[in-house]
């Protein structure tokens, strides 16, 4: 992905979605498209037309954070979009010292694995920026067993979502989930456009999935922090789960997710059933493989 093209396409897509009425512009003459003109964005951002035009051509070198904030305000960007604009400016800066290098593959620390294993009443799992599931506790493994075993997904939530026929049944809100995954990948790509594994994944999905390709062209971004996830599990049926996403400062390329159910809800009962099924089906000391690494389901084996 050419970074200047990314900047240009992102700014144009945000400008095109705004109508003059949304920003308080009355009239403005005949328009070929409903979006704002460049000069209107420049006025709203209090910069010259030439300066904004240079930005929209993809050149953010030397643009101050204050001007980026002004443009973000003019284009009505939300928090995720504003952060994305700053990321794009940072990654187009020619100063090598400011370029972010992709993290190296790493093993799950025993202490981290013990921590998630200690959570027994809620599914907990960890994934990386490339949507690979790294590890999980026993209930997390049971919840995502169909995804982990899927030949098309290969333990990767993005591949499963867009390449596996099973995804639409497993995720009843498939369209929303697909939108979220693409927007999250777009966010990560803006933060680190030189991550070869990430760009290879995006290229694969653009080539193999029209649904991914169309969503990628929309240039939407989002923060993946909290929300509701609906899953249809083949063993226990429909689940409606609240999720929380957590950064891992010691492992900045990884993110931890925890799912909970409303107390007394059918989902809470079904999670208990899933946990019982997983416990009875798994022999002590048995190992699962996640992201190519063995993950024991016996907490004692990790001490």
Q: Which tens digit of pLDDT belongs to each residue from 189-221?
A: 999 998 999 999 999 999 999 999 999 999 999
- What span, in angstroms and rounded, lies between the C-alpha atoms of 60 and 201? 26
> In terms of domains, do 61 and 141 share one?
no
Residue that terminates a domain, selected from 34, 69, 98: 98
26 within 8 A of 20, measured Cβ to Cβ:
yes
What is the total count of domains within the chain?
2
User: Could you identify the residue written with the tokens 């004692």?
Assistant: 300
Residues belonging to the chain: 303
Closest CA to 105 of 256, 290, 296, 253: 253
**Phi/psi of residue 260, nearest 5 degrees:** -135, 160
Expressed as residue numbers, the domain containing 78 is 3-98
69 with 130, same domain?
no
- The domain boundary residue, chosen from 50, 76, 98: 98
What's the DSSP call for residue 300? G
Domain assignment present for 153: yes
Sign, CA torsion 137/143/146/147: negative
Asked if 258 contacts 242 with a C-beta cutoff of 8 angstroms, the reply is: no
* Reported confidence tier of residue 41, pLDDT bands at 50, 70, 90: very high
Cα separation, 11 vs 57, in Å, equals 9
Whether residue 131 sits in one domain with residue 47? no
The structure tokens listed for 9 are 């396409």
Q: How confident is the model at residue 32 (pLDDT cuts 50, 70, 90)?
A: confident
> What is the per-residue burial (b if ≥16 Cβ within 10 Å, else e) of 17-45?
ebebeeeeeeeeeeeeeebbbbebbbbbb
pLDDT of 70 higher than 90:
yes
137 shares its domain with 268: yes
In a domain, 247, yes or no: yes
pLDDT score of 280: 85
**90 and 30, same structural domain?**
yes
pLDDT at 28: 58
Residue 29 lies in a domain: yes
**Distance separating alpha carbons of residues 263 and 119, to the nearest angstrom:** 17
CATH, residue 66: 1.10.260.40
Angle CA(142)–CA(170)–CA(185) in degrees, nearest 5? 95
Residue of higher predicted confidence among 160 and 27: 160
Note the pLDDT tens digit of each residue in 87-115: 999 987 655 444 445 455 578 999 999 99
CA distances for 226 relative to 5, 197, 206, 222, 229, angstroms:
31, 26, 27, 11, 10
Same domain for 81 and 145:
no
Given 51, 70, 98, the domain boundary residue is 98
The pLDDT, as a whole number, for residue 294 is: 46
């Amino acid at each position: 992905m050419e970074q200047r093209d990314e900047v240009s396409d992102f700014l144009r897509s945000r400008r095109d979605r705004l109508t003059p009425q949304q920003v308080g512009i009355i009239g403005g003459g005949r328009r070929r498209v409903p979006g704002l003109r460049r000069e209107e964005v420049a006025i709203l951002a209090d910069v010259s037309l030439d300066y904004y035009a240079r930005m929209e051509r993809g050149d953010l070198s030397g643009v101050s954070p204050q001007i980026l904030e002004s443009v973000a305000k003019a284009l009505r960007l939300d928090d995720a979009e504003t952060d994305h604009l700053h990321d794009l400016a940072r990654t187009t800066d020619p100063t090598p010292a400011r370029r972010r290098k992709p993290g190296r593959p790493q093993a799950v620390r025993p202490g981290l694995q013990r921590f998630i294993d200690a959570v027994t009443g809620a599914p907990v799992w960890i994934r990386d920026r490339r949507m690979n599931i790294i590890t999980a506790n026993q209930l997390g493994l049971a919840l995502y067993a169909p995804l982990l075993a899927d030949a098309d997904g290969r333990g990767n939530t993005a591949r499963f979502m867009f390449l596996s026929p099973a995804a639409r049944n497993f995720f009843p809100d498939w369209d929303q989930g697909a939108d979220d995954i693409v927007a999250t990948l777009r966010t990560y790509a803006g933060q680190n456009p030189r991550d070869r594994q990430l760009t290879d994944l995006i290229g694969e999905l653009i080539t193999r999935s029209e649904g991914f390709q169309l969503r990628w062209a929309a240039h939407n971004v989002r923060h993946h922090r909290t929300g509701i996830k609906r899953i249809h599990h083949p063993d226990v049926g429909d689940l409606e789960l609240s999720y929380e996403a957590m950064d891992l400062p010691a492992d900045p390329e990884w993110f931890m997710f925890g799912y909970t159910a409303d107390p007394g809800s059918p989902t809470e009962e079904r999670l208990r059933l899933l946990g019982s099924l997983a416990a009875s089906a798994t022999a002590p000391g048995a190992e699962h493989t996640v992201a190519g690494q063995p993950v024991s389901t016996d907490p004692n084996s990790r001490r």
